[in-house]
Amino acid sequence: MRIALIGQQDFGKAVLEAFLARGDTVPGVFCAPEQAGARPDQLRAAAQERGIPVHQFRTLRSEEARTAIASLDCDLGVMAYVLQFVPREFTGVPRMGTIQYHPSLLPRYRGPSSINWPIIRGDTETGLSIFRPVDALDEGPVLLQKKVAIGPDDTVASLYFDHLFPLGVRALLETADLLQAGKAVEQMQDDNLASYEGWCHEAEARINWHVHADITYNLIRGCNPAPGAWTTFGGKSLQIFDARKHPVRHFAQVRGQPGACVAIGGEGMHVVAQGGEIEILRVRPQGGKKMSAAQFCAESGCKPGSILGT
């Protein structure tokens, strides 16, 4: 097939390489323009290394963008990690239309932080969908879905890189084959089952030590590595990344008030939450770099009896 690839960064690069490796032709790639100071777009760099023309339009709604994709004479458009709005006037140009990857089981978790929110909410299952893009966010008919279990200690990083990323690349190839063979079935999404969540940003990632330890632990996992769950110490923010949860089973095991640092040892520090303790292993203080929690305590003066979140 002739594939027009729309995407960016590592996932877009992996999809490009997967289609090329099996003998498909990619006559052109569409990437969002890179902002000043941003790291080079991995998809753009990979395409240019292979001599593939790269188009970087500030908007894909323009007639210029539509003319560019029409000139490629493609069988299929493939959207692999796209943050730009892509109108039907663009996606409808390839002969078999366009397909898009989304890392959730649509219609659940429509929206841009669809990997974060299932972990934050304590779900035990998520997945990915390959669907037809329409002029509404993540609402087009679904062509293929794959389920993925969420382990009790999975983070955004482990769920994405170990499962949703490689499985998503394979699912796009599988969907392209189904379309070429005339075997693809489009299933309309049921809006009665739909949910939409916006970005998980700094405001959503703030820790409240007075909620249950399960909720706190899920928030830390669901924001690792980005945007980074955070609390405060000494009037400055402290992002928390790697952590463990330790339930409290008896009243006698409660060692302090929520937010209290009650022990420091090895690489970590123990902080009290309702129903348990969070063992914090890796942090990033405001204006600093990631480090072990033990190193942070040694450098900041945090000690047993110190209170986080105030």
CATH number, position 86: 3.40.50.170
Q: Are residues 137 and 38 in the same domain?
A: yes
The yes-or-no verdict on residue 261 having pLDDT over 90 is yes
Q: Are residues 140 and 10 in the same domain?
A: yes
Question: Which amino acid is located at 78 in the chain?
Answer: V
Q: Are residues 32 and 174 in the same domain?
A: yes
- Strand order in 282-285's β-sheet? 229-233, 236-240, 282-285, 291-292
Q: Are residues 38 and 139 in the same domain?
A: yes
| End residue of a domain, out of 165, 193, 221 | 193
The yes-or-no verdict on residue 1 having pLDDT over 80 is yes
The pTM (predicted TM-score) of the whole model is 0.95
Average pLDDT (139-160) is 98
Buried b (16+ CB within 10 A) or exposed e, 255-290: ebebbbbbebeeebbbbbbbbbbbbbbbbbbeeeee
Q: Are residues 168 and 224 in the same domain?
A: no
- The residue segments making up the domain with residue 35 are 2-193
Q: Are residues 217 and 182 in the same domain?
A: no
The yes-or-no verdict on residue 252 having pLDDT over 80 is no
Q: Are residues 21 and 119 in the same domain?
A: yes
Q: Are residues 117 and 78 in the same domain?
A: yes
The yes-or-no verdict on residue 253 having pLDDT over 90 is no
Residue 309 lies in a domain: no
Q: Are residues 152 and 187 in the same domain?
A: yes
Structural domain count, the chain = 2
